[in-house]
Structure 1
């Protein structure tokens, strides 16, 4: 926002910039059976997901959008409300409709959250909360194929985007696998460090679930106690069949989703 001379006062008045949505090209197909509000909502959601409408962007008011697109105000209101309901937009008194964030949609494949966030333009940030040696519990020992009570490295990391927490990641690693430097773990992803150390990731067994957040988890992830969390347990193997990682992760369901591709069995 810049200033310009005000001829009435001789001083300066703030220049009101156009909402970011005014810089985007939206179009609806009136011959399509898809409802107009849904077409607009999908285009707005796509702009948010791909970073063309960044968090904090102003969407503009319903009258401006309706006039520019030749749509009725109720149609535009319905499109905006559908994204408010999804948590992508928020209406703020005196400010207007603002982009909050996009929900990260992660494909179920052997990839890291860090890489997926970077690919989605989400600028991941990591805070390492624990990086220490501990004795393997029965669960961890079974996953990694080691003796119960033997030493493993425990990593606990808080992963955020746009300054908001998204996931809490707990990983157990064989101690002789690679050097897990905390500074490097905060600068990049675990799988990237593994690949750089010559570890070839081959396959994984993974379980996805859901549960409610505990009070401590809610505080950590900026959610209310009892909010929905997605959970994931994963054991990853290298090309020699060795278990190189066991992870137990929790994700904010309001910010995160898993995508499945389903095929018909012949």
Structure 2
């Protein structure tokens, strides 16, 4: 593979800096500064800044409007990975998270799901699927499996307006303790893309999470497909002994 030209490398580096500033909310109140001003701030040529903005436009992060300038297309919201919190709880202050409940009922899960939940093969579980919106736009598609004793009481609760974590604690009388989380970058298939209102093949986050009660029992196995253009996943990491 041929190495990138110094100009292309510089554009990539500038795009990385601008992306970080955009996702931290630096430009939510108006357009980005003009290209020459960004060049001064970043110690870069105007051409390099223009190429970097082109990279961000290709990502769908910004758009150019005649007579206005370069604008952030959609604000990105931060979801911390260093605390166990539901989506509505994590995004408190950004607006109302609205849930479209697409499925809610008892099913026989795939064997791998039963194993994750520590259940015998063939055990029935509650399956939930919710399309979650913020600001009227799709944010994530959540598929959840819960043991029947945990999930059945939830079916009578406000699944459209409440986070599952809070509902689980209320109905079970037990606190949640921890969650094991793995995040992948995947291409949205036709069904997922249609629900999230993105083009098929668009890169999205696939977050696999297994949540346990405080006593260690696994009670919530879920996969979230999250629009990567609308959410950043953040964590504060502390270095400990090797």
Fold shared, TM-score > 0.5 on shorter chain: yes
Alignment length, in residue pairs? 222
TM-score by length of 2: 0.74
The answer to whether 1:176 aligns with 2:152 is no
TM-score by length of 1: 0.68
**Among candidates 177, 195, 200, match of residue 220 of structure 1:** 195
The answer to whether 1:104 aligns with 2:77 is yes
Match runs of 1:86-105 below 5 Å: 87-93=60-66, 96-105=69-78
Residues 1:48 and 1:114: Cα distance change in structure 2 (over 3 Å): farther
Match runs of 1:112-123 below 5 Å: 112-118=86-92, 121-123=94-96
RMSD: 3.6
The answer to whether 1:162 aligns with 2:135 is yes
Distance of 2:102 and 2:220 partners within structure 1: 18
Distance of 1:186 and 1:108 partners within structure 2: 23
Match runs of 1:184-223 below 5 Å: 184-197=158-171, 198-223=173-198
Is the 1:210–1:228 Cα contact (8 Å) retained in structure 2? Answer: yes
Residue 230 (structure 1) aligns with: 205
* Structure 2 residue matching 1:254: 3-state secondary structure: coil
Distance of 1:48 and 1:165 partners within structure 2: 23
* Structure 2 residue matching 1:186: 3-state secondary structure: coil
Residues 1:237 and 1:45: Cα distance change in structure 2 (over 3 Å): closer
Shift of 1:264: 5.2
Residues 1:232 and 1:165: Cα distance change in structure 2 (over 3 Å): same
Gaps in structure 1 of 5+ consecutive residues: 1-35
Q: Larger Cα Rg: Structure 1 or Structure 2?
A: 1
Distance of 1:159 and 1:251 partners within structure 2: 9
Asked which structure has the greater RCO (Cα within 8 Å, sep 6+), the reply is 2
* Structure 1 residue matching 2:120: 3-state secondary structure: coil
Distance of 1:257 and 1:163 partners within structure 2: 18
Per-residue deviation, residues 218-237 of structure 1 (Å, max 9, x unmatched): 11111111111211212111
* Structure 2 residue matching 1:223: 3-state secondary structure: coil
